[in-house]
Structure 1
Amino acid sequence: MSFDAIVVGARVAGASLAYYLAKAGCKVLLLDRATFPSDTLSTHNMFGNSLGMLREMGVLEAVLRTNTRIYRRGHVHFDGAVIDGLFPETNGIQGNLCVRRKYLDHILFEHAANQPGVTAIEGFKVTSLIRENGAVAGVEGRRRDGEGRTESFRARLVVGADGRLSKIREWVGSERKISLPTDYASYTGYVSGFRQEGEAHVEFYKNGDKIAILFPTSDDQFVVGGMFPLVDFPRIARFKADPEAGFRELIEDGFAHTTLAERFGDTRFVEPIRGLHGYDNDWYVGMGEGWALLGDALTFKDPCVGQGMHDALFGARLLADILSRHAPEEWRSNAASMGEAYQSAMEEKLMSRFWLGCQFTKNVPVPEEMTAAYRLIGADRQATETFLGMYNYSSEPEDIQAEIGRLLAAAQEGARSPA
């Protein structure tokens, strides 16, 4: 069978792309080795700008019907400097949502699969690419229930939306433009019984070489992330021997000076803890002759900045828009110009947050002047809103610098004024 596009990977990035391409009149094959609903290791928080894209696709109401609380507040604790406030409104939405992937991915997959022009196959493992005259022309693979029989599908474009360890990216030989390895081990778990003061909110803590993040998520639970240096081999050994004890020890060791440690003591882990021992912050070439990359297959940044879901949704919409500027039969002859447009637009939009993730991924002391700047921000409502707005793109990093400049100027003026 032949299609305009084959999308390998049917979670947030791939399902969203299939939806947008179908709306543009394309014939799409959507494949995933998993079956839905199913979970995946993820920082699955979405800020208001991402919720706006879900509304655009017509799935926001379904997502809101999952048992997941919207939260508006952020509490950030950087080495003793505290920033606490409300995320600003964006796209007419003030609020963020951290939906479990077993719910979100299923909703997006079903929504895409129900679009005219989309053929969706779950439980299909792509095992190789088909090439013609050097260009990618399709895929081969096997269904989980197919008794080992190989099937082949052809398309004008094969899109790898198959995650951080993308096989499509490996097979097409995409060039890695940027690579910065993390210094951290990262563990994720889900807990019940976590207490917060006031309205539900995200909590982010950095103390020396340890990081902890907690998001309110589905089913009255919190997803908790803990990070510590990869070179802390005794701690890694303790996590391997008893992940729950290791996690609780990390919180107690790193954050006993805050209320987090006490409140975390009342929690109960409801699922197995999962870990990741090192990862690269990377950025690849996103398109070539007969292929494209999307989501984590294109670029992956430290999960502590919580941008992966936005990047997947934004990239899907952008790639579909670029492809829709040409008829599918013209895609190959315009691959170079489309690839340049896709790469430059993705980098222009996302690169500042990529480098933000890279700042957190290295285990280096926070400069004293940076801590002082965070204290200034935390003491000012406008600056706090600007800081939190960086995460939902209602402000940019340079806006934060402007706010710091404003606060420093005000402090200097106050110092010059007579008592």
Structure 2
Amino acid sequence: MRKDQFDVIIVGGRVAGSTLAYELARNGYEVLLLDRAEFPSDTLSTHNFFNNSVGMLREMGVLDKLLQTGTPLYKKAHIQMGDVVIEADYPVVNGESHSLCIRRKYLDKMLWDHAAMQKEVTTLQGFRVTDVLWQGDTVTGVVGVNREGLQSSYTAGLVVGADGRHSTLRRLVNSERKMAVPTDYASYVGYFSGYVQEGEPRVEFYVTAGRIAILFPTSDDMHVVGLMFPLEDAEWKNKFLGEPEASFRELVRSAFAHTDFPRRLETSKLEEPIRGLLGYDNDWFQAMGSGWALVGDAISFKDPAVGQGMHDAIYSARLLTSILAATDDWAANWNRMAHQYQNELESKMMSRFHMACQITKNTPPTQEQVMVNRVIASYPEAAQAFLGIYNYANEPEALGQTVMRLIQKENR
């Protein structure tokens, strides 16, 4: 095979792309892995792996190296919605009890290097894809420029977009946008040192009156804090645009004064500039066509509050690999493979997508929702079913069934 010809070209080499390259290489495919960045490279992201996804990192053989960064594991959640407090451990999944929130500057570099170690994988950093090659209605390769501005083209039996929520490959192949639900929130993120959590590390999640805060223990002895407020609040938008750190701290103090979160954040030091998103869409795209496919956020970006991005990146890469490996003649089976890929993605991920679409809307909780939250807080088995939605220990329906059974028990 010529050095400009491959079985698969992957555009984007972060979590989804590097995972796909590794999985394809294990199945004997010659892969070209491209990324416009040069690693290590940070990116704005929800970078948490619930314990089901930690298990996938272990299976890939990268978990031990990731843990060498000193990033802490955690298994506990503290969730406060109004005056309701839920404290519980995430359910164990496939023997994995702990979750991991590792910074992208470590994660992406290690996954890239792990893929590059496979003899079937050729890597190219600093390469920006500008167009795709076509033969009839089938994609056959990519055209792009390197860091010196020199243009090159590469061909393959399949081109995969693993280049995130603003995917260039997705735009070039004109993937159909099947669903889109705009968020009602602005989201800002900061990394703080010196934040104290009593006892073992945990995720903290606070919701009150249209304000949301979520916090994870992460790399470099820091905690990453995400803060969300309604996009329609022009006063706070202007404050954040003018003085991000002061506004971040002020909003925490005013919105979450009924908790001890502001006190602990007040004594913490912001280590890097506050970054944010003024709106985004929860979306879902066509995942495959003739000669092309998508993985990760390129298929579906979801509200960061549900924390599913890392799982979906790895899961979609593994699923696509299994479908490709089970098919000898790709060119004769694009429609069948595309149908299978789309159906299996939706079967696995759509329930969490719909959950994200609910969270992303700024609507006050109903009396029924408040009652459900109180049941979750009062019964360990309900708390386990609630947290189990996030790590795929159970489906959302299981929570509803558990809550109904417990309410009926209380009313006897």
2:366 is the alignment partner of 1:363: no
Could you tell me the percent identity over the aligned residues?
Answer: 53
RMSD, aligned CA: 0.8
Shift of 1:361: 0.4
Q: Deviations over 1:307-365 (max 9, x none)?
A: 100000111000000010123xx112111000011000000000111111111100111
Measure, in 1, the Cα distance between the counterparts of 2:68 and 2:196: 23
Paired residue secondary structure (1:390): helix
Measure, in 2, the Cα distance between the counterparts of 1:14 and 1:61: 20
Give 5+ residue unaligned stretches, structure 1.
414-419
Measure, in 1, the Cα distance between the counterparts of 2:355 and 2:199: 29
Q: Within 5 A, what are the aligned runs for 1:104-143?
A: 104-143=107-146
Match of 1:54 among 46, 54, 57: 57
Partner residue in 1 for 2:206: 205
Partner residue in 2 for 1:417: none
Q: Deviations over 1:186-235 (max 9, x none)?
A: 00110011111221100011101100000000011000000001111111
Q: Which amino acid aligns with 2:232?
A: V
**Alignment check: 8 A CA contact 1:6 1:31 kept:** yes
Partner residue in 1 for 2:165: 164
Measure, in 2, the Cα distance between the counterparts of 1:362 and 1:79: 17
Q: Which amino acid aligns with 2:238?
A: A
Measure, in 2, the Cα distance between the counterparts of 1:271 and 1:67: 19
**Alignment check: 8 A CA contact 1:205 1:212 kept:** yes
Q: Which amino acid aligns with 1:50?
A: S
Partner residue in 2 for 1:352: 351
Partner residue in 1 for 2:35: 32
**Alignment check: 8 A CA contact 1:185 1:229 kept:** yes
Partner residue in 1 for 2:321: 320
Q: Which amino acid aligns with 2:36?
A: R
Measure, in 1, the Cα distance between the counterparts of 2:94 and 2:44: 28
2:10 is the alignment partner of 1:11: no
Q: Which amino acid aligns with 1:396?
A: E
Shift of 1:388: 1.0
Measure, in 2, the Cα distance between the counterparts of 1:73 and 1:88: 10
2:66 is the alignment partner of 1:63: yes
Measure, in 2, the Cα distance between the counterparts of 1:360 and 1:198: 29
Q: Within 5 A, what are the aligned runs for 1:195-274?
A: 195-274=196-275
Partner residue in 1 for 2:75: 72
Measure, in 2, the Cα distance between the counterparts of 1:254 and 1:260: 10
Measure, in 2, the Cα distance between the counterparts of 1:202 and 1:261: 15
Give 5+ residue unaligned stretches, structure 2.
none
**Alignment check: 8 A CA contact 1:191 1:222 kept:** yes
Paired residue secondary structure (2:381): helix
Match of 1:88 among 60, 84, 91: 91
Paired residue secondary structure (1:34): coil
TM-score normalised to the size of structure 1? Answer: 0.96
Partner residue in 1 for 2:407: 408
Point out 4+ residue stretches in structure 1 off by more than 6 angstroms: none
Shift of 1:79: 2.1
Partner residue in 2 for 1:291: 292
- Give the number of aligned pairs: 409
Q: Deviations over 1:84-138 (max 9, x none)?
A: 1111111211010000001111111000011121000111111111111121110
